[in-house]
Structure 1
Amino acid sequence: MSFGDKLPFISTLHHAPYPAIDPRKPTSSAAGKTILITGGATGIGFATARNFAVAGASTIVLLARREETLQKAASELSAAFPSTQFLTYAASITDEAEIQKVFSSVRQTARNKDVDVLVTCAAFIKVGTPLTGTSLSEVKTTFETNVLGNLIVVKAFLDTPKDEGKVIVDITSYASYMAFPQAGVYGASKAAFSYMMRHVQHEHPDLRVYTLHPGAVWTPAGADIGFTKDMFTDEEDLPAQFIVWLASQEAEFLKGKFLASHWDVTELMANKEAFESDVDLSTIGLRR
C-alpha cells in the first residue's frame, strides 16, 4: 500500500493525547526499565522522557550534543520525578567510539544494568533547497547523521546477549514516504533508515522494532529551518505517549510496522489479525 494519512480501517485521527495511550495506565507501565532517548533534551525526545517517567521508568538516559541543554532537561525532569534515575550524555551519534562508551557506561550505571527501550529522535534536518541545488557536503552530513549515526546507536543497543523484551522506536518523518518539495535529501535519509529497520526486525525476531511518524509537532528543529508554530497542529505529548504505548505489550502485534501517532490505538488493536496476517501491511517498500 502507499502511505497517506491513515490505513483503510482507521477512522479516527488524533492531534492530542487521549485515554488509550495514557502512560499512567497499568498496561503501559515502564517500571524497572531503562529508556535511552537520542535527542532527548528537547522537543519530542524530551516529551518522551517525561512521559516514560510518568509511566514509572526506573532509569531514563538523555543523549544529545549540548551539555547545557542536557543539564537543563535533567534538572527539570529530576525535580518532577525524583524516584526516576536520569542519566545524561553529551555526544554525537556519528561518533561510534563515543556511543559505545555511552552504552557501556549506562550498562554499568543504570539501576537494572541494561537498556530496554531505545528511542531514536536525533536527526539532522535542512530543507528548502531543491535536490539538484543541494551541496554534496549537506547530503553527506544528512546521511551521516540520519542513517549512519542512527545505525551506530542501534548497533550499540543490540550489543547484548539477548534481544527478547527489547524495543526500538525509530522516529521518522512524513517526508520519508511522501514526495515533499525541497526536502528530498532529508526524506531520502529517513526512508533509508526506516527500511533498514525492517531488516533489523527480520534479523532479530525477538526484538520489537517500530518506525513512527510523530505527526506535525512544533520542535526547536522546526524553528531552526524557518517554520512557525502556527504551521503545526499536533501536541508533542501525542507522539510521546504513543511511544510509551508502543513499548508496552499491548503493541507487540505491531512490531516491524510503520505507524503514525495520529492513528487511534483502539482501532489498531481491533485490527490485530490484519497486521499479523499481512507481513507487508503498514510497511515501507514496493508492492506487487
Structure 2
Amino acid sequence: MTSLTSLLKTTHKGSYPAISPSRPELSQVGRTVLITGGSTGVGYAIARGFAQASASRIIISGRREEVLKAAVGKLVDDFPKVQFVGKQLDVADLQGTDELWADLGRQGITVDVLVLNASSPSHPQPILEAGFDKIWQDFIINVRTLLVFAEKFYKQPSEEKFLVNLSTMAIQDWNNIVPEIPGYGLTKSAGTLLIQQIAKDTSPKDMQVLSFHPGSILTETVRRVMGNISDSFDFDGYDFDDEDLCGHFAVWAASREAEFLHGRFMWAAWDVDELRKGEIRKLIDEETYYLQIGVKGLT
C-alpha cells in the first residue's frame, strides 16, 4: 500500500515558499472568502492565510458567539486592511444557512472562495453503539452541509469560483484512525465523495474543486477527541504540524495552479511542486480516478 512518505519524495510539516500567501500568483486581492467553522483551529488558520494573501473580505461562521467575536477581533487587529465579517451559525441549521446566503445576496456580495471546514468529529464508539441519532447528526454536518453550501455557492451569478473542502486522512486510513472513530471516517468519506461527484459534473473553469487533509494540527477538537480515545496520549511529545501548513495550502488550492487537481483528494503536506512536475503528475493526468474515492481492486 502506498504511504504518505512513499507517494512523494518531499513532504512538509510547515509552510514553504511554493504555497506562501505572499506569492503574487496566489493573491486573493478583490476576492470574498467564506469559511465555515472559521473561528478556531484549522478554520482560523485558513482565515489568516487568506488575509495574508490580501483577500478583500473574509466571512467566517461559527456556532459560539463569544468565540467568534474574539476571533474576528484578533483578525481585525492583525490585518486592518481586510474586511472581516463574523456570522454566528450552526451549519446544521437550514433556515440559518438560507438566511446567511440571502443576506449576502441582498448586500450584493458574491463569494469567490468557499472553504467547507465545519465538521462533526464523531464519537469513539462502534457505529451501532453510538446509535442512529449521533451518526445521523454526523451525516447532517459532514455531508448535508457540504451539499447545501456547495449548491448555494455554485448558483451565484459569478464567473469564477473556488471550492475548497477540508477532508481527512480518516477516509483512507482504515487500519488506524477509522476503527477508533468509525462514524467520522464514514461521514467524511461520504462528504468527500459528494464533493468529488460535484467536481466530476462541473468544469473547473466554472467552479474549481479540491479536497484535502489539513495535517496533524493541535486544535481543541483534536485534544477532545484524542483525550476520549486515550487518557495517555502524549500531546507534548507528538510532532504536530504547524497550522500555517493547512492555512497556506488552502490559499494555494484556491488558485489556478491547483486546477490540475480538480476533484482530487490531497494532503496539505504534499509538496505542490512535486505534484505539478513529478512522476505523480503523470498518474493524475492519465488515471481518471487517481486520488479519488472508489473500490480498490476493481476496474
TM more than 0.5: yes
Q: For 1:260 and 1:106, locate their aligned partners in 2 and report how far apart those are by CA, in whole Å.
A: 32
Secondary structure of residue in 2 paired with 1:225: helix
Report if aligned partners of 1:213, 1:259 keep a CA contact under 8 Å in 2: yes
Q: Which runs of 5+ in 2 are unaligned?
A: 228-232
**Which amino acid letter does the alignment assign opposite residue 215 of structure 2?**
G
Match of 2:270 in 1: 263
Cα deviation for residue 199 of structure 1 reads 1.1
Match of 1:133 in 2: 129
Q: For 2:123 and 2:267, locate their aligned partners in 1 and report how far apart those are by CA, in whole Å.
A: 21
- Give the 3 Å change call, closer, same or farther, for CA 134–18 of structure 1 in structure 2: same
- Give the 3 Å change call, closer, same or farther, for CA 159–7 of structure 1 in structure 2: farther
Match of 2:290 in 1: 281
Q: For 2:239 and 2:98, locate their aligned partners in 1 and report how far apart those are by CA, in whole Å.
A: 36
Match of 1:79 in 2: 77
Match of 2:218 in 1: 218
Match of 1:4 in 2: 3
Cα deviation for residue 105 of structure 1 reads 2.0
- For residue 244 of structure 2, the aligned residue among 222, 237, 248 is 237
**Which amino acid letter does the alignment assign opposite residue 66 of structure 2?**
E
Q: For 2:137 and 2:173, locate their aligned partners in 1 and report how far apart those are by CA, in whole Å.
A: 22
Cα deviation for residue 120 of structure 1 reads 0.9
**Which amino acid letter does the alignment assign opposite residue 147 of structure 1?**
V
- Give the 3 Å change call, closer, same or farther, for CA 126–152 of structure 1 in structure 2: same
Match of 1:173 in 2: 168
Match of 1:208 in 2: 208
Task: Identify which range, 131-140 or 70-79, moves more after superposition.
Answer: 131-140
CA offsets per residue over residues 198-232 of structure 1, 9 Å max, x none?
11112221211111011111111112224463345
Task: State the number of aligned residues.
Answer: 283
**Which amino acid letter does the alignment assign opposite residue 5 of structure 1?**
L
Over aligned residues, Cα RMSD in angstroms?
Answer: 1.8
Q: For 1:135 and 1:96, locate their aligned partners in 2 and report how far apart those are by CA, in whole Å.
A: 23
Cα deviation for residue 152 of structure 1 reads 1.7
Match of 2:189 in 1: 191
Secondary structure of residue in 1 paired with 2:48: helix
Report if aligned partners of 1:17, 1:241 keep a CA contact under 8 Å in 2: yes
Q: For 1:274 and 1:136, locate their aligned partners in 2 and report how far apart those are by CA, in whole Å.
A: 40
- For residue 32 of structure 2, the aligned residue among 29, 34, 40 is 34
Equivalence map 1:52-91=2 (5 Å): 52-91=50-89
Structure 2-normalised TM-score?
0.89
Secondary structure of residue in 1 paired with 2:71: helix
Secondary structure of residue in 2 paired with 1:212: strand
Q: Which runs of 5+ in 1 are unaligned?
A: none
Q: For 1:224 and 1:181, locate their aligned partners in 2 and report how far apart those are by CA, in whole Å.
A: 17
Q: For 1:38 and 1:44, locate their aligned partners in 2 and report how far apart those are by CA, in whole Å.
A: 11
Structure 1-normalised TM-score?
0.92
**Which amino acid letter does the alignment assign opposite residue 138 of structure 1?**
K
Are residues 1:150 and 2:157 paired? no
CA offsets per residue over residues 99-120 of structure 1, 9 Å max, x none?
121122234447xx21011111
Q: For 2:5 and 2:156, locate their aligned partners in 1 and report how far apart those are by CA, in whole Å.
A: 36
Match of 1:23 in 2: 21
- Give the 3 Å change call, closer, same or farther, for CA 107–32 of structure 1 in structure 2: farther
Secondary structure of residue in 1 paired with 2:4: coil
Cα deviation for residue 244 of structure 1 reads 0.4
Secondary structure of residue in 1 paired with 2:210: strand
Cα deviation for residue 178 of structure 1 reads 1.8
The percent identity for this pair of structures is 33
